Amino acid sequence: MIIVFLGAPGAGKGTQAKRLAAALGLPHVSTGDVLRSAVERGTPLGKQAASYLNRGALVPDETMLGIVAELLDRGDASRGVIMDGFPRTEPQARGFDRLLEERGRAVDHVLLLDLSEDEAVRRLTARLWCPACGAIRSVGGGGPAVGDACPCGGRLEKRSDDSVDVIRARFAEYRRLTQPTVDYYRSRGTLKSVDASRPVDDVAAGVLAAVGTAGAPRRAAG
């Protein structure tokens, strides 16, 4: 089963993708995971990606698709995979479909975690993170404050990119890049929208319901 998560900054893609992966027993793969793994393994494509990452440039779609192809051919992806953060753009989505078709597979579900810009701003300006373990915590309502200890022993900080101006700029970039991807998957009949403004457990229930109503894994046409 191939499942793709789409959603705006603050929609909870990583959280929900990990929960669904655990529920279905499938590997959860984020864009960062894919790139780090390829770079660490020193594959030819990993070396290409590192040359872009080291100078702060975006990794080209061709290189990303090659790395994803390697991922699809791994043994642990034979039953399926939960994609978090990829594909991000319509060209990536079309390229991903081609990779899957070559392997007799297809995207089964595309889950759009729907969240308004104002709600994204509220969420992201009200969170702290631990640089030591990457944990995210919400502030307010008796929650932690800057400098408080994380269970791992690190100290909670405010992320520099969690300012209102930066969040709104990220949201605008998301709309520019991802809306065509949303439209593409909607035209293919694989897109389902889940209200991401609700509590985490309610969103997880909506995700499971969306996956459970679509039936068996799809196979590429032909």
> Is it the case that residue 128 has pLDDT exceeding 80?
yes
> Is it the case that residue 10 has pLDDT exceeding 80?
yes
pLDDT tens digit sequence for 89-112: 999 999 999 999 999 999 999 999
Q: Long-range pairs for 75-81 at CB < 8 Å and ≥24 separation?
A: 76/27, 77/27, 79/1, 79/25, 79/26, 80/1, 80/2, 80/3, 80/24, 80/26, 80/108, 80/217, 81/2, 81/3, 81/26, 81/27, 81/28, 81/29
CATH architecture of 2-116+171-212: 3-Layer(aba) Sandwich (3.40)
pLDDT computed for residue 138 by the predictor: 77
Which residues are catalytic, by number?
Answer: 13, 88, 127, 159, 170
CA distance linking residue 135 with residue 150, whole number of Å: 8
pLDDT tens digit sequence for 36-84: 888 888 888 888 888 887 787 778 889 889 989 988 998 888 899 999 9
Domain residue spans in the chain? Answer: 2-116+171-212
The pTM for the full model equals 0.79
